[in-house]
Amino acid sequence: MAFTDPLPLIPSPISATAGQGRVALAPTATVHGAPAAASTLIDAVERRTGFRLPASDRADDAAISLLVDPATAGAEGYTLRVADRVEIIGGDEAGLFYGIQTLLQLLRDGDEGWGWLRADVADAPRFAYRGVMLDVTRHFFPVAEVKTVIDRIAALKFNHLHLHLTDDQGWRIQIDSWPLLAEKAAVSAANGDEGGFYSKDDFREIVAYAASRHITIVPEIDLPGHTHAIGVAYPEIVEAPVLNDELVRSTALWGQKLPVAGEPYTGWGVGHSSVRIREEGTYDFVRDVLTEVGDLTPGPYLHIGGDESLGTSAEDFAHFVERVSAMVIELGKTPIAWHEAGAVSGIAQGTIGQFWGGVEPSEAHAAEAAQFVERGGSLILSPSNAVYLDMKYDADYPLGLAWAGLVDVRRAYDWEPTDVLDVPADEILGVEGPLWTETVRSLADAEQLMFPRIAAVAERAWTPADGAELTWESFRARLGAMAPLWQADGIRFHPTSEIDWS
Ligand code: TNX
């Protein structure tokens, strides 16, 4: 990039001033800081350059010093100065971690070898919740692949990973009190792909790995719809499939079989399944599942789904959502639900809504979302025609769906969170980009759909609305400059022609 260009940073910081040129990075440059932060930096530099910077316990003459000082920056904030020495001061440990991520984007290879671009940065996030959702049901991602996703999103300063753990096509988490879920309900996935599930130790490993990168895991048990797989293990918990016109039509369109009670479902249809709302046994099941998942999860949230319950009457849906949202509160967690659950007036106070309508929503969707705020909850924004990472980039793109529209990088970037719904700005907890995986059959597929659009989601979630670099032209230039970093990390991004990749 030319000298007058913005510093190649995504998400763009609150303030960033470029200096003249680079500071060389010698393999002997010492790093001083708490062990966790120092090794985050040392390991990442090694992955990029092949050399391992030495740690030092001497603060005064370290080439790179990593500090925490709450007086310098607020929660998750940091300052970073790259001059003859490098100094990062986090407002807390997360802030220091984000400062290190920024520094890594300033690490560039050139004729004179490796060096940092000189910069002076002061930064903090706009939203407390910056999320990505991974649908591990339609396609199952083993633990190692989830860790890779965690590394990739942490580098963009996301702090939540929402795991969509259950759906019609498969159940992905071991539940000791209902052992047949792992044994029978986990074997399938969409398209006849291989299933799988996380044992409790697997899940703990994911939670711990995420925590070491300042990411909170948000587990979702999707209820009362999206529950066909439960019936493969425990038929007494679910109703017979509801074969509505839309399902029959779309299933025929995709050339797939209709769901059959008790058999694994591998199609893409939605809205055909429901747990038995009026049976007490259903609530024993749900309580056991939520208790075990809650016990595995140190984070504050339990996502209870609530989307597309098309086979459930409005009264039954309300009955279920009231009881289950209250159950989550009793378990000491904060419920999150997809925005349809906002229609339920008795939903537990403080439930957080996840909005998936468009950036210019229908009145019905907007009203459902606004209800969460009326009842003391806040909102996570996932507008489907901007941040759904499973939408096609363009009509010819082989992966993805198009029901919410085509989402090119500009579409993913050009929207403002506070303009979507008529709610006070401080009721927006944050932004999340979901990756549904009906068309995804490998981590490589997932990466292509995520990257580069996920960078747009990251910037919308992090950078304040009045940020000087918050324009499409600036973003486009900065995004192009990510290519060498992403290539070095082995990210198989979609090299869309919208961007001039450097
Ligand atoms: C809608 S939007 C769903 C998912 C699908 C997705 C595909 C929402 C909360 N649910 O069940 O996987 O569309 O794009």
**Per-residue confidence (pLDDT) for residue 255, from 0 to 100:** 74
Q: Where along the chain do the CATH 3.20.20.80 domains lie?
A: 129-465
Residue whose CB lies within 8 A of the most ligand 1 atoms, among 308, 385, 449, for a mutation test:
308
CATH of domain 129-465: 3.20.20.80
Q: How far is the CA of 475 from the centre of ligand 1 (A)?
A: 28
pLDDT digits (tens, 9 = 90+) for 352-402: 999 999 999 999 999 999 999 999 999 999 999 999 999 999 999 999 999
**Per-residue confidence (pLDDT) for residue 502, from 0 to 100:** 87
**Per-residue confidence (pLDDT) for residue 243, from 0 to 100:** 87
pLDDT classification of 248: cutoffs 50, 70, 90:
confident
**Per-residue confidence (pLDDT) for residue 1, from 0 to 100:** 47
* pLDDT over 70 (residue 271): yes
β-pair type (352-355, 216-223): unpaired
pLDDT digits (tens, 9 = 90+) for 416-448: 999 999 999 999 999 999 999 999 999 999 999
Distance CA 420, CA 439 (A): 28
Contact 11, 462 (CB under 8 A): yes
- The residue-averaged pLDDT of 478-494 equals 97
**Per-residue confidence (pLDDT) for residue 254, from 0 to 100:** 73
Comparing C-alpha atoms, which of 211, 205, 259, 192 is closest to residue 231? Answer: 259
- As a dihedral over the C-alpha atoms of residue 360, residue 366, residue 372, residue 373, rounded to 10 degrees, the angle is 70
Interface confidence (ipTM) of the complex: 0.98
Q: Superfamily for 15-123? A: Chitobiase/beta-hexosaminidase domain 2-like (3.30.379.10)
CA-268 nearest atom, ligand 1: 12
Q: Where along the chain do the CATH 3.30.379.10 domains lie?
A: 15-123
46, 93, 205, 308: which is the annotated catalytic residue? Answer: 308
The three state secondary structure string of 80-94 is: EEECCCEEEEECCHH
pLDDT digits (tens, 9 = 90+) for 450-460: 999 999 999 99
Q: Whose CA is nearest to atom 5 of ligand 1?
A: 436
Distance CA 171, CA 489 (A): 31
Residue whose CB lies within 8 A of the most ligand 1 atoms, among 138, 222, 270, for a mutation test:
270
> pTM of this prediction?
0.97
Q: Is 308 a catalytic residue?
A: yes
Q: Whose CA is nearest to atom 10 of ligand 1?
A: 307
Distance CA 316, CA 343 (A): 12
Q: How far is the CA of 435 from the centre of ligand 1 (A)?
A: 9
Query: Tokens 């649908």, residue?
Result: 135
Phi, psi of 477 (to 5 degrees): -65, -45
Residues 6+ apart with CB under 8 A from 254: 267, 268
* pLDDT over 80 (residue 4): no
β-pair type (64-68, 78-82): unpaired
> What share of residues in the chain are helix, strand, coil (percent, to 5)?
35, 20, 45
Which residues make beta-bridge pairs with 55? 31
Q: Whose CA is nearest to atom 7 of ligand 1?
A: 436
**What average pLDDT does the structure give for the chain?**
96
Residue type, 149: V
- The residue-averaged pLDDT of 243-250 equals 80
pLDDT digits (tens, 9 = 90+) for 118-170: 999 999 999 999 999 999 999 999 999 999 999 999 999 999 999 999 999 99
Q: How far is the CA of 436 from the centre of ligand 1 (A)?
A: 7
Other CB atoms within a 10 A radius of the CB of residue 5 amount to: 13
Which residues form the pocket of ligand 1, taking CB atoms under 6 Å from any ligand atom?
Answer: 270, 307-308, 338, 356, 388, 390, 401, 436, 438
